[in-house]
Chains A and B, each alone.
Chain A
Amino acid sequence: MKIKVIINGEKKVLDIEPHEILLDVLRRYGYYSVRRGCDTGMCGICTVLFDGKPVPSCSVFAARADGHEITTLEGLPEAKEFAELLAEEGADQCGYCSPGLIVNTVYLKKLKIKKMDEAKIKLIGNLCRCTGYEGQHRAIAKFLGVEK
């Protein structure tokens, strides 16, 4: 089947199977920032924005996106600023989880979150197996302009 979807602001027509998962389709069409992690929606690595809200693309059927808008890391201009903060704070080791974390954190900036505790509630689903989160939390606090 064919779906019409806006990806990173561009209108696209994608050829998909009815049961195909959004993660697989995005990667097939070259959006390689969207990475496969747990495949059950629990690790946050495959996070994209669906109509502006962070979702695990491994748990959304691609057919659902027909007529809707998807934003990946490639479509977020604010991502660079946050990526630099992650690097400054030593918050990246293997970097595999970074795209999902960046997408979710950029969304949080739009919410104008005032406290780090509020941010943590919304970032619990972005797992990192390298850093122990301290460096990430320093970078997130700076990016969101909240006290750590």
Chain B
Amino acid sequence: MLSFKSYIKPKNIKEAYDLLQNNNAEIIGGATFLRLSNRKVDLAIDLIDAGLDYIKDTEENVEIGSMVTISEFEENPILSNLFNGYLKNVAETILSFQMRNIITIGGTLYPKYGFSDLITALLVLNTDIYLYHSGKISLEEYLKTKVHKDILEKIVIKKEKLKATFHYIRNSEYDFSILNVAVSKGKKVKIAVGARPGVATLAYKAMEYLNKNGLNENNIKEAAKIAAEEIVFADDIKTSKEYRKVVCEALVRRALLEVM
């Protein structure tokens, strides 16, 4: 069971950051996954009233505050129409609507959950993370960087002409993905693979192959093989690394054919 000695809801991010520097203090995000853990936290910091639940639409970008819940990708017209509904389609298959109403952007991205569908989906877009203390960093770099005692303030997605698609395989529709794949095609092709079960990563060699040789059926077949070879998979309770490798090749191929 997760237990707290005290629970506080700061009114702004500065106050939250100062509180976070205390020993055994923790930001709880949406708390959906955290709640299932078994430990003692002295100070639980809830950002629900910290003014981080905004969505700002500018000419070039969309800014999403870290306390925006992922159901907003379905319900908010700015987010649901982005990239022809790409993010809406991804969000709608994540767990239940009730859970999507409490799962937050920050609570998903900050801990870099390996099972996340959203991280994989955002990785093929031009997505930047804004940390309160450490500042701006691309999502791609953030996933490779160790961050300690900071707060995810917002994410910024660049509006671009992109065709994007997302594929996954699950034991049942209402479950975490065994493997997920996102692909986007703008000026260049991007391929991300997640739930491997480690956190999502770009398939750099496969992307380089396609961006050098072009997108056609033969090259797609080859790129899918390259992606399955370069990505590091592992076993977990859901499936084996060998199975993930086979699935990866199939999903990358299907996704690339879709954006061709």
A interface residues (Cβ-Cβ under 8 A, vs B): 1, 18-19, 21, 40-42, 44, 47, 50, 53-56, 59-61, 63-64, 66-68, 104, 111, 121-126
- The answer to whether B101 touches A55, judged by C-beta atoms less than 8 angstroms apart, is yes
- The answer to whether B101 touches A63, judged by C-beta atoms less than 8 angstroms apart, is no
The secondary structure that dominates the B interface is loop
- The answer to whether A53 touches B7, judged by C-beta atoms less than 8 angstroms apart, is no
A-B contact count (CB 8 A): 86
4 pairs of A and B residues whose beta carbons are closest in the complex: A125-B96, A18-B7, A63-B7, A122-B97
Q: Which of A55, A61, A66 contacts B98 (CB 8 A)?
A: A55
- The answer to whether B71 touches A53, judged by C-beta atoms less than 8 angstroms apart, is yes
**How many B residues touch A, CB cutoff 8 Å?**
30
Q: Which of B7, B95, B99 contacts A1 (CB 8 A)?
A: B7
- The answer to whether A64 touches B97, judged by C-beta atoms less than 8 angstroms apart, is no
Q: Which of B3, B98, B173 contacts A54 (CB 8 A)?
A: B98
B74 to chain A, nearest CB (A): 8
B248 to chain A, nearest CB (A): 26
- The answer to whether A60 touches B99, judged by C-beta atoms less than 8 angstroms apart, is no
- The answer to whether A18 touches B5, judged by C-beta atoms less than 8 angstroms apart, is yes
Interface residue? B121 (CB, 8 A): no
Q: Besides A44-B98, A59-B35, A124-B173, 12 other CB < 8 A contacts?
A: A18-B7, A19-B4, A40-B36, A41-B95, A50-B101, A50-B102, A53-B71, A54-B98, A60-B31, A104-B97, A111-B75, A125-B95
Interface residue? B49 (CB, 8 A): yes
B contact residues around A18 at 8 Å (CB): 4-7, 44
When chains A and B are docked, how far (Å) is the Cα of A77 from the Cα of B125? 44
